[in-house]
Structure 1
């Protein structure tokens, strides 16, 4: 019997983080959220995770239900309201979601500011005065990129569509054990051999759920270890992977 391959990822920060990512990516006005569009984009991410049989936290599914409910309310015909009945006026169904997103964005920005201050503090130290007049420095910029896990997940979903991998599967029931450490080494070698960067899709040659999931996790681990980084010229373009410059 072919047992489902399930993996839990802790890299996702929550449904509000995903919604905020979509708002920033599609340049949406947080005070006037197009519910139909945001729901469609949100569900695409959920479907991609389900295709890989990732263990999706229940809060993501709750948010999906909330978005569908708000979308349904927005489709209802608007009733004319008399001034006398103004106290019974129902607020915009998006109001609560908007408030939650604004509050979440405020705390997220504060957390990022504190993180930057922590990094700056870690670079400060004291020592006795030293002369550096005779020293030369060869500064090599290290680019880490600003690609998030949601960008990678979106690229994965687009790859499924291009390669028609609506449900990655094996034609026969067979066991395919791929140690994540081994997959990390393979990816690192491929990226190093590609001087101009390697396209994201090229790391997924097999329509096997095990291979896709392990490759995706290996990429996250390599990025976390600052071995590789992803780069995208502009929104919705192809993702390319590069080695971190030493």
Structure 2
């Protein structure tokens, strides 16, 4: 198992998988963690790295997705992040990731202890030695034809489809974008702001950026009723 890059933020310092464990065990409040800082630190690490391991990047994406899902559920209990199948698929991947993580620890412990070979407790005694007797009429050409059919059936499994990974939206960039728009107009509403969103991911990142600005006391948000539009305004110097 490849080591996960360590991060350093206000409330935590260490590997990202440890941060996930502390949050899942409720030993650390997810709302006090700035995912923007976590993401930006890893992007800086990638830019500085001369050689990048794909497995390490995959580990980061899985853990970061879990953190984003947890924080979104805590901050936005009424927001539907996607269909049940999408949430189940993420949960399934994360469960599988945990199983591999635990297995890697056990294997590493065995390797460090030198227990890499085991003897069979008792020799396997066979009373009779079996011989392979092909049926009548089986020839080399027929075996070759069967083998070719098997290979043809395996082609869809062997050929893994290629997927183009699109550039992730930076929360820091979205925060700066919201700041510029609020400074330019002084007042905004959420529905108008999200009319420019390209996909569901951008809506989620924009909302997290909005919450970060509220936490920093740079903006004020008001909502008349549940599920109604959200009015956004800049914090005036006198109200700070």
Q: Same fold (TM over 0.5)?
A: no
Max radius of gyration: which structure?
2
TM-score interval for Structure 1 and Structure 2 normalised by the shorter chain: 0.3 to 0.5
User: TM-score scaled to structure 2, two decimals?
Assistant: 0.33
Q: Which has the higher contact order (CA 8 A, sep 6+)?
A: 1
Task: Name the structure where helix makes up a greater proportion of residues.
Answer: 2
